[in-house]
Amino acid sequence: MWRQSEILLKDRSRGFHIVTSEIQAALNSMFADGQPSVGLCHLFLHHTSASLAINENADPDVRGDLERHFSVLAPENAPHYRHTLEGPDDMPAHIKSVLIGPELTVPLRKGKLVLGTWQGIYLCEHRDHGGRRTLTITVQGE
Amino acid sequence: MWRQSEILLKDRSRGFHIVTSEIQAALNSMFADGQPSVGLCHLFLHHTSASLAINENADPDVRGDLERHFSVLAPENAPHYRHTLEGPDDMPAHIKSVLIGPELTVPLRKGKLVLGTWQGIYLCEHRDHGGRRTLTITVQGE
Amino acid sequence: MWRQSEILLKDRSRGFHIVTSEIQAALNSMFADGQPSVGLCHLFLHHTSASLAINENADPDVRGDLERHFSVLAPENAPHYRHTLEGPDDMPAHIKSVLIGPELTVPLRKGKLVLGTWQGIYLCEHRDHGGRRTLTITVQGE
């Protein structure tokens, strides 16, 4: 049982955003005729300046601290950057995307994402104005 | 051929720990009736303050250096942290978990994890007292 | 439909290198008799001092900036390193490998890697003289 679907995530501001319910809704529509009882869901972002992560779904300060801290790890205007034509937020965005990664695999059980109590799926938007982001969801299971 | 199992890793101190043999033992019990000849093993940690990695399995100084260096990259008590109620080790643990990630896929061949000579699977415990950690193992193959 | 193959990537200098066409060529030879219409391609590097990433495939300055910036994040000769016997580039290479990771999953559609317009697959060589690198490619689909 294989399904693959490309979806557009809505436009978001720079920062770390929870998208778990958008992903689960896409899964539900991909399996309108019956969910796999066991499987894996693979998420793949088509971009080099955003990324996908899994972390705390409760206190929004965690997402704010992540944005602030990753902007310390990959600051704007570092003297060693040569790729600067696309704006000061661009090269830090590439670095953050390599650090965090554009893809994730999450287990499925009875059609639901298997996540810990405190886990949510994040879209990490590293550009000031990244626009909508394209995601390929590939699901397999039995 | 699909299998999914939830296991509890034992309580570990803050730091980087090799868990390859625990994972391989869980795989052996999941396939007591015959292993897949080719497959993939997906490991998913249900937590936001620990992570999974693959690195050097020999010199324990590598694991010590990783603990020391990640605690430089994500220090305690950074002035920009607002999520501080759960202790000074908590927000750094979330950052390390986003940097390293809570999930891994490892190839399987003849029922064994395909790892390079020097590779081991790490549980990276980022809390001072993280307790036991829950892991969902999903295996598929033929 | 499962396939698994071990390939050797050619020797590369320290830095970030695009290997998309090498991976696609390996996929083509693994499926000489017909590609899966939907699937997943898993890439697994057998090493602890190199890694796999996905990022910008156009401006080579991005790859240069990544090399320079990761060498700021994981510098040589940090005072807290104890694993120093294999040379000053060795412990930073382990750290970079944990930060970036040795494995990736990429969607497949009609036998082709599903990548965004600007995405390429990188071999990140963190040693000064890493030599050839072994990669296990596992593909499944239908």
B80 and A68 within 8 Å at the Cβ level: the answer is: yes
Within an 8 Å CB–CB cutoff, is residue C138 touching chain B?
yes
Neighbours of chain A (3+ CB pairs under 8 A): B, C
Q: Look at residue C34 and tell me whether its pLDDT is greater than 90.
A: no
Chain A residue with minimum CA distance to B40 = A40
Contacting residues of A for B91, CB less than 8 Å apart: 62, 65
- The answer to whether A19 contacts chain C (CB < 8 Å) is no
Does the global pTM surpass 0.80?
yes
What does the pLDDT read at residue C119?
A: 98
Most C CBs within 10 A among A3, A40, A52, A138, hence the mutation to make, goes to A138
* pLDDT band (50, 70, 90) for residue C84: very high
Do C81 and B65 lie within an 8 Å CB cutoff? yes
This model of the complex carries an ipTM of: 0.97
Q: How many CB atoms lie within 10 A of CB B22?
A: 17
How far is residue B83's CA from residue B98's CA, in Å, rounded to a whole number?
Answer: 15
Q: For residue C32, what pLDDT is reported?
A: 82
Q: How far is CA C25 from CA C7, C19, C96, C110, C119, in A?
A: 11, 10, 27, 14, 17
Q: How many Å lie between the alpha carbon of A101 and the closest alpha carbon of chain C? A: 7
Compare C107 and C111 and report the one with higher pLDDT. Answer: C107
Instruction: Give the pLDDT of residue A79.
Output: 98
* Tens digits of pLDDT across chain A (142 residues): 899 999 999 999 999 999 999 999 999 999 888 889 999 999 999 999 999 999 999 999 999 999 999 999 999 999 999 999 999 999 999 999 999 999 999 999 998 999 999 999 999 999 999 999 999 999 999 9
Has residue B128 got a pLDDT over 90?
Answer: yes
DSSP C84: -
* B52 and B123 Cβ atoms separated by less than 8 Å: yes
A39 contacts on B by Cβ (under 8 Å): 2, 138
Residues with Cβ within 8 Å of C21's Cβ and at least 6 positions away in sequence, in order, are: none
Contact C11, B48 (CB under 8 A): no
Interchain contact C15–A (C-beta under 8 A): no
Q: What's the pLDDT score for residue C107?
A: 98
| pLDDT over 90 at C33, yes or no | no
Q: Which residues contact A63 (CB under 8 A, 6 or more apart)?
A: A15, A16, A17, A18, A55, A56, A122
**B interface test, pick of A42, A52, A65 with most B CB neighbours within 10 Å:** A65
Does C119 contact A48 at a Cβ distance shorter than 8 Å? yes
Could you tell me which chain A residue has the CA closest to the CA of C98? A99
Q: Give the single-character DSSP code of A128.
A: T
| A9-22 CB burial, b ≥16 within 10 A, e <16 | beebebbbbbbbeb
Q: Return phi, psi of residue A39, to 5°.
A: -175, -170
Do residues A74 and C69 make contact, with C-beta atoms less than 8 angstroms apart?
yes
Per the rule left: phi > 0, alpha: psi between -120 and 50, beta: everything else, C35 is: beta
Mind listing the pLDDT tens digit for each residue in A81-104? 999 999 999 999 999 999 999 999
pLDDT at position C116 over 90: yes
Would you give the DSSP letter of residue A27?
Answer: H
Across the interface, do A61 and B82 touch by the CB < 8 Å criterion? yes
Confidence (pLDDT) at B22: 96
C83: contact with B, CB 8 A cutoff: yes
Mean pLDDT of B91-117: 97
Strand C2-9 relative to strand C133-141, pairing: antiparallel
Please answer yes or no on whether A80 and C68 come within 8 Å at the CB atom: yes
Extract the tokens encoding A110: 């009875």
pLDDT band per the 50, 70, 90 thresholds, residue C65: very high
Residue C139 CA to residue C56 CA, distance in Å, equals 24
Is B73 in the A-facing interface, judged by CB distances under 8 Å?
A: yes
Q: Shortest CB distance from C61 goes to which of A42, A83, A101?
A: A83
pLDDT above 90 for C30? yes
- CA nearest A113: which of A6, A30, A9, A51? A30
CA A141/CA B59 separation, integer angstroms: 39
Question: Can you tell me the mean pLDDT for C7-16?
Answer: 97
CB pair distance less than 8 Å for C66 and A136: no
The enclosing H or E element of B90 equals: helix B90-100
Nearest to B61 among C47, C82, C140 (CB): C82
User: Is C74 within 8 Å of chain A by CB?
Assistant: no
What's the pLDDT score for residue C139?
Answer: 96
Average pLDDT value for residue range C41-62: 98
Q: How far apart are CA A9 and CA A129, in angstroms?
A: 14
